Copies of this chain bind each other. A is one copy, B any other.
Amino acid sequence: MADPRFFVNKGPFSVQQLLSLVDEGADIRGDGTLEVVDVAPLSEAGPQDISFLDNRKYISAFEESGAGACIVAPEFADRAPKGMTLILTTRPYRAYARVAHAFYQSATQSSGIHPAAFVDPGAELADGVSVGPGAVVEADAKLDNDVEIGAGAIVGHGVSIGAATRIGANASVEYCDIGARCEIHPGVRLGTRGFGFDMSAEGHLDVPQLGRVILGNDVEVGANSTIDRGAGPDTVIGDGCKIDNLVQIGHNVRMGQGCVVVAQAGVAGSTELQDFVVLAAQSGVAGHLTIAPGTQLAARSGIMRNTEMGDKLAGNPAIPAKEFFRQTAVLAKLTKDRNRKD
């Protein structure tokens, strides 16, 4: 069970109740009146727990699981242990997410303006806004309903934040507009100065960075990630983008909807990621490029030119992933051959 210091368990629920949370098309096999008290991994779940199977790797754990109930794709239903109640769905991971949301909420519900926060009298706060201890909301900021500002976070002058968005501890958001239901994690820096200057031996000269950062709705930005404001145009992050920890997004970057950028990846200035681009961990994209919808870049790889829709790339400079692994194999073979000759 999740640590009750941090999470409140709202169970029990009957399997039938949980079914109602799952996207339509799901079905029960077994006893829908069964009450479950918790979610748990297959290997640890007991008769009062509900688990899920999402990955073929874990089929034998499923076959041996003691879980009372399990969310599983129909094709694996017949592998279930006897007596296990099943929620059958083609998307078990998504269904598990909904069930886990039903079971748990954070134990730390903040509310109201903490006495150790500073909110400028010129800021506008809608109903239900909470501001944690040590946090700062500067003048002319506008916070919509149910916005949560974490302890020690800084909301700069004039920033607007949409309903139910959360800003994590010690994050700072400046020169930006943030949509609704976003999660800005601790230590994030939004709206910082872009890295724009004229290089010269007599001294580099800063070019004013006059744009903003615009975040859509349902955007997540991971801990200690940085998104620079635009140089003149804005830096724009589309609806539903998921950005992990320690990611760098340069000035003027535009991201379409639903892009995923994994930890420690970076996107250089003025590049466009179109919808549903995926950049794996520690990868990078050079500046001034257009990355086509659905492009996927492998971990530790670097894109140096525009891509085509659905490209799957790896290496540095990135090439089609299959080709990258073929080249890797050929170089290994050539090296082996040469050693044999020597």
Residues of A within 8 A of B (CB): 2-3, 5-7, 39-41, 91, 93-94, 96-98, 100-101, 103-104, 107-108, 114, 116, 118, 120, 132-136, 138, 140, 150-152, 154, 156-158, 168-172, 174-175, 183, 185-187, 189, 192-193, 195, 197-201, 203-208, 210-212, 218, 220, 222-224, 226, 228, 232-233, 240, 242, 244-246, 248, 250, 258, 260, 262-264, 266, 268, 276, 281-282, 284, 286, 299-300, 302, 316-317, 319, 323, 326-328, 330-335, 338-339
Give every chain B residue within 8 A of A302 (Cβ-Cβ).
Answer: 282, 299-300
- With a cutoff of 8 Å between Cβ atoms, the chain B residues found around residue A171 in the complex are 170
16 pairs, CB–CB < 8 Å, chain A vs chain B: A3-B212, A6-B175, A101-B208, A108-B157, A150-B154, A151-B154, A154-B169, A154-B170, A170-B171, A189-B224, A195-B242, A203-B258, A224-B246, A246-B266, A264-B266, A317-B328
Q: Are A232 and B327 in contact (CB under 8 A)?
A: no
In the assembly, what is the distance between CA of A133 and CA of B2, in Å?
Answer: 33
| Chain B residues positioned under 8 Å from A118 (CB to CB) | 114, 116, 133-134
Copies in the complex: 3
* Chain B residues with CB under 8 A of A116: 118, 136
> For A39, what are the chain B residues with a Cβ–Cβ distance below 8 Å?
210, 232
Q: Is the CB of A185 within 8 A of B193?
A: yes
Contacts known (A154-B152, A199-B260, A302-B299); A138 close to B108, Cβ less than 8 A: yes
CB neighbours (8 Å) of A107 from chain B are 157-158
A195 to B210: give the CA distance in the assembly, Å.
32
User: Quick check: A200 and B94 within 8 Å, CB to CB?
Assistant: yes
* Cβ B195 vs Cβ A244 within 8 A: yes
Besides A97-B205, A169-B172, A245-B248, 18 other CB < 8 A contacts? Answer: A3-B158, A94-B198, A96-B207, A97-B207, A97-B208, A133-B138, A152-B170, A187-B189, A195-B263, A203-B240, A226-B246, A264-B266, A264-B284, A266-B281, A282-B284, A317-B328, A327-B332, A330-B331
Give A294's nearest chain B residue, CB to CB.
B201
Instruction: List 3 tightest A-B contacts by C-beta distance, closest first.
Output: A5-B158, A2-B210, A169-B172
Contacts of A276 in B (CB 8 A): 201
Residues of B within 8 A of A152 (CB): 134, 136, 152, 154, 170, 172
Alpha-carbon distance between A118 and B152 when the two chains are bound, in angstroms: 11
In the complex, what distance in Å separates the CA atom of A197 from the CA atom of B331?
37
Tell me whether A133 and B133 are in contact (CB under 8 A). no
With the chains together, A246 CA to B189 CA distance in Å?
A: 11
Measured between C-beta atoms, what is the minimum distance from A96 to chain B in Å?
A: 7
Q: Which of B186, B244, B248, B328 contacts A189 (CB 8 A)?
A: B186
